[in-house]
Chains A and B, each alone.
Chain A
Amino acid sequence: MTETFRMDKIQPRLLDQTRQGLIGRALDRPEGRLKVAGQARYAAEMPMERLAHGVLVRSTITRGRVSEFQTGSLDGLEGVLGLWHGPKFLRNAAQGMAGAAPVQPADRVDYYGQPIALVVAESFEVARDAALRLKVTYEAERAEVDPRKASEVESEDESFGDLARAMADGAATLDRRFTTPPQVAAAMEPHACIAEWSGDRLTLHGALQMLQFNRKELADSLGIPSDNVRLLAPYVGGGFGSKLGVGPEAVAASLAARDLGRPVRVVLSRQQVFDFVLRRTETKQRLRLAADENGKITGLAHDDRVSNLPGESFSEPVNAATHFLYGGTNRSYTHEIARIHRPASGSVRAPGEAVGMLALEAAIDEMADTLGIDPLKFRLQNLPETHPETGQPYSSRALAECLEAGAAAFGWADRWPAGSRSEGPWLIGMGLAAAGRKNMLIKSSAKITLTATGAIVETDMTDIGTGTYAILTQITGEMLGLSAAQVQVRLGDTALPPASGSGGSFGASSVGSAVFLAAKKIRGHIAGLLDCAVDDLDLTDGLARGANREARLDQLIETEIVEEATIEAGALEDSHFQSGFGATFAEVAVHADTGEVRVRRMAGTFAAGRILNEKTAASQCIGGMVWGIGAALTEELLHDPRTGHVIGRDFANYHIPCHADVPQIEVTFLDERDDQANPLQSKGIGELGISGAGAAVMNAVAHAIGLRLYDYPATPDRVISALEKADR
């Protein structure tokens, strides 16, 4: 075991002194070529001998018990190897970082579409047919599926100061109710795995985001020691939170593979992904704001209701950003969790901010209108000096700079009065929203082996399309004076040192810091070989220089140098409030007759500490902003009002934005170092782009038509409904 480095005090900005020129650069993904050429093998693509194919069977009641699997319904189907079900099966995937088995309901059914059994066959086609043919009888029970009418509601309150007083005394007040629909992560790669046993040791190739947690979840679900489980996930085709926890397919495949003594593959169909992968909850939100005559916020309340299945620990933290974005001494929150029998909800990209800011940033915008203050100015004049509830100083916070620089670049000063500009039948509007997403550091380890020819980086960290391979290559190359080609990064294997995994925007900074620290230790060895002080050491282009000496690394390194490092959060996590910040701007056209909305321009300016790779960081922000377009305009998961079942379980019905919905998106990063965050001075970026983006689009819609919508998304029917109410 290596000693764990705690982030208790600020570290020197070493990456500003190194001269390799890799860090921050827009380096292409080293594995990009493999991916576009179809040579990167994803979980379901691992070649296996004697592979058997499993297809999960879903429940077709909402709540109750399975009384019988009528296996006779499979009689005569050639190639069926068996049917698995029972007490180890999962109701739904584990929540992020659970590290233990999720609910294992035995014969109970808690939602329509719940996986209740696995059919395994010699071919996928036979297994699929058998899964569809299998007759199941149930004892059905009454189930509540409407979060608005739920009889079981848990509630949490939190308040500061006296909100009622602030509302009563405010020179201006606002009280608005918003709704956001359920959404899905819609990762391109469906959830998939291949399970393979060797004696009592299990190897699972999985589409998973957080391997060290997933290993424990799978082992706990199966009732075996986690040392007996090895997970492999070198490539993951998108996750967005939906692959944080081990899912029902992994447990089912493992059970069948053990019994059969053969590897078993289970790949969810797109319909099954909709049926039971954790969704984002729908929300009902109420925002109240009070301001004084100078346009200073004096009161702020954010109440919400979300839903989840009974027994799930997660609830969407809707008010996450409301706590720290704006000032105001009187603050109040109510968070309600309705226990209903829709499929379980979980973390989907930026849980909390992604939906909470849709309401918060729309309410802030309307409050500015109410006060007759430009919404940019209103935001700027309400940024608190310190965290408005805890009093913590912010670590680095360039929110004002992002708002101002973004506004200048977007041409905000030329904005016209609401509802006053049209081009033919199209009404044109401009909107903005702040972006904010809490930064985190999660315990992570990594190992570097330096040889005469280059470095190998090893960690169980995943790359879910985000660019982990690229940034770890860059950090290592930068620290050790190597080219990108001399660095090899090995990820996604629990046999390697455990890392944070990909989630919560903390992956790059957490594992990146572990790699940085391991490289720093290696720099110490090299300084020793060169006989110079480590502070004098310069490593660039394969040359070591220090104390007036110079040596080629490939001659200096006679035996390989291996170092492992582990980092975890320390005192700076509590002493300073850490968050990435930004500002998103959108220009939209709204058709005055049909209510169609087209985003014409979109731009985001972000400050997230040191940017490790301009290209992959910008891609993260662009992706987040596209999600914002979806949240504002197109995405809405539908549940049958009687059964809670997901309706329209494919991408023809669940409308993620298509190319024609997405205009040119500009992303700008402000140069920033966050010394409190970690030794890289970087902050999370994966979820920053989405946090606020949808509100910018919705605020632009409001500016275009001069009317506000409070129910997301602004599909044509909702827009024309607002227009009709205004007799337009």
Chain B
Amino acid sequence: MRTFDYLRASSLDQAAGMIGAGATVIAGGTNLLDLMKLQVMTPAQLVDINRIPGLDEIEESSAGLRIGALVRNSDLAADLRIRRDYPVLARALLAGASGQLRNKATTGGNLLQRTRCPYFYDTAMACNKRDPGAGCSAKGGEARMTAVLGTSEHCIAAHPSDMAVAMTAMGAEVELQSANDRRTIALPDLYRLPGEQPQIENQLSAGEIITAVLLPAPRPGSIQSYRKVRDRASYAFALVSVAAVLEMHDGRIGDIALAFGGIGARPWRDPSVEAILKGEVPEAALFARAADKLFETARTEPGNAFKITLMRRTLAATLREATGLTTRSIGTDIAGEAA
């Protein structure tokens, strides 16, 4: 039997010490337990952080919101401040997983969930993420759910989170703590692209733990949209998704942030795409140029090439609604009005 030690941390310092010594954090466990049953992950030590006080609160300040790492996805989606000021995040959360899973899943755990690439999940299949150097059997395989941006020869896995896509569009930061240090990094910097070492997925140093996500101050009046396209109406990972936060001034696109799910090795944001749109009058040709830019470096497999077309159409539809070219439908909100 694969035995493991289960440790329950009562303080951050204690947890940091255990992690530094090699323990794996368990919070909601919605992903880790599945992976352990399949022996995709075989940690020798688990440190349970659920009882550490103070990590499950949402605090307000002039700078924005500080969301504790243990805030459950359901609670975050239901929070009035989130629904009112950050509707794109509430929408993204509710587009993810199922009610039961969201009740358990935590903010920090959602950010660090592993890819759902089916070849990663099957220990008989070669996977560089699971077994460095083994090869990538998703390449040349059934690649429907894999990524087209940020991939490498060694890994084409997609990051599965919806929440992280919305947070990326909002310019969220992540607060990290280790035994003797505390630092804050931009959310996109949390993630590492696969390159030659797809088994290293994030920039956490040994002993570091996510303590909170910081959302910048709300932008009342901003138009926010989360649009997820999937193979069934609920409980499915994104084929593609778009999180958009933008402002319109005098018929032109003002500040705009776009993040994309389902297509990237990490929640994808590309400032050069936003630069094409900012200051311009919205129209179909402009949206197409933005999509061209987005996929400039795309690498496809036969099974996932459709994602480019699907994303082009989804982005255009999202931007048409958000910029007022067509009527808004459910999923597109005005911040400050949506509570």
Contact = CB atoms under 8 A, between A and B. Distances in A.
Interface string A629-665: 0000110001111100101111011010111110000
A675 B37 CA distance: 54
A125 B144 CA distance: 33
Contacts of B235: 652, 658, 660
Nearest to B38: A271
Contacts of B141: 640-642, 647
A173 B306 CA distance: 33
Nearest to A661: B233
Interface stretch (B170-178, B252-260, B311-319): B311-319
A74 to B, nearest CB: 12
A291 B29 CA distance: 61
Among A649, A661, A716, which residue has the most Cβ atoms of chain B within 10 A? Answer: A716
Contacts of A652: 116, 235-237
A724 B313 CA distance: 10
A287 to B, nearest CB: 26
B268 interface: no
Contacts of A660: 232-235
B239 interface: yes
Contact of A593 (B39, B124, B313): B313
A650 B329 CA distance: 33
A424 B327 contact: yes
B140 A642 contact: yes
A658 B142 contact: no
B2 A648 contact: no
B234 A595 contact: no
B142 A647 contact: yes
Contacts of B118: 638, 647-649, 653
A123 interface: yes
Interface in A590-605: 591, 593-596, 598
A129 B2 contact: yes
A648 B122 CA distance: 8
Q: B-side binding surface: helix, strand, loop or mixed?
A: loop
Contacts of A77: 1
B326 interface: yes
A412 B231 CA distance: 28
Interface string B98-141: 00000000000000000010110111110000000000010011
A662 B312 CA distance: 28
B234 A649 contact: no
B311 to A, nearest CB: 10
A720 interface: yes
Contact of A655 (B119, B123, B124, B232): B232
A58 B145 CA distance: 25
A594 B229 contact: yes
Contacts of B314: 593-594
B186 interface: no
Contacts of A633: 232
Contacts of B230: 716
Interface in A694-728: 715-717, 720-721, 724
A359 to B, nearest CB: 22
Contacts of B121: 649-650
Interface in B225-246: 227, 229-237, 239
A533 interface: no
B310 A716 contact: yes
A424 B331 CA distance: 14
Contact of B124 (A60, A641, A657, A661): A60
A454 B119 CA distance: 58
A110 B101 CA distance: 38
Interface string A256-291: 000000000000000100000000000000000000
A720 B1 contact: no
A126 interface: yes
B329 A658 contact: no
Interface residues of B, number: 40
B231 A716 contact: yes
A123 B3 CA distance: 13
Contact of B119 (A647, A717, A724): A647
A648 B140 CA distance: 15
A237 interface: no
A129 B306 contact: no
Given A79-B1, A425-B326, A657 B317 contact: no
A416 to B, nearest CB: 21
A547 interface: no
Given A129-B2, A132-B39, A658 B309 contact: no
A52 to B, nearest CB: 15
A655 B229 contact: no
A649 B142 CA distance: 12
Select the residue from B124, B309, B316, B317 with max chain A CB neighbours within 10 A. B124
Most buried by A among B137, B227, B233: B233
B233 A720 contact: no
A129 B1 contact: yes
A658 B1 contact: no
B329 A634 contact: no
Given A271-B38, A716-B310, A425 B317 contact: yes
A720 B313 contact: yes
A715 B236 CA distance: 13
B236 A655 contact: yes
Contacts of A634: 231-232
Contact of B232 (A60, A126, A658): A658
A665 to B, nearest CB: 15
Contact of A640 (B38, B142, B306, B316): B142
A660 B230 CA distance: 12
Query: Among the interface residues B38, B232, B234, B326, which one has the most CB atoms of the partner chain A within 10 A?
Result: B232
Interface in A109-148: 123, 125-126, 128-129, 132
Given A593-B314, A639-B142, A641-B141, A715 B231 contact: yes
A711 to B, nearest CB: 13
A595 B137 CA distance: 29
A197 B296 CA distance: 66
B310 A595 contact: yes
A650 B118 CA distance: 9
B242 to A, nearest CB: 10
B268 to A, nearest CB: 18
A717 B312 CA distance: 12
A132 B142 contact: no
A701 to B, nearest CB: 15
Interface string B58-74: 00000000000000000
A185 to B, nearest CB: 18
Given A641-B140, A657-B232, A717 B1 contact: no
Contacts of B122: 271, 645, 647, 649
Nearest to B318: A593
A641 B142 contact: yes
Interface string B206-236: 0000000000000000000001011111111
Contacts of B119: 647
Q: B39, B119, B309 — which one has the most chain A CB atoms within 10 A of its CB? A: B309
Contacts of B327: 424
A658 B232 CA distance: 7
Contacts of B233: 596, 598, 658, 660-661
A483 to B, nearest CB: 40
Interface in A75-122: 77-79
Contacts of B329: 424-425
Contacts of B317: 425, 591, 593-594
19 contacts: A132-B123, A271-B122, A424-B326, A424-B329, A425-B329, A595-B313, A598-B233, A638-B142, A638-B144, A640-B142, A641-B140, A648-B142, A652-B237, A657-B232, A660-B233, A716-B239, A717-B309, A720-B306, A721-B309
The 9 closest A-B pairs by CB, nearest first: A660-B233, A593-B317, A717-B306, A660-B234, A648-B118, A647-B142, A60-B124, A638-B142, A594-B229
Given A595-B229, A641-B140, A715-B231, 11 more contacts: A129-B2, A424-B326, A591-B317, A593-B316, A595-B313, A640-B141, A658-B234, A659-B234, A660-B235, A717-B310, A721-B309
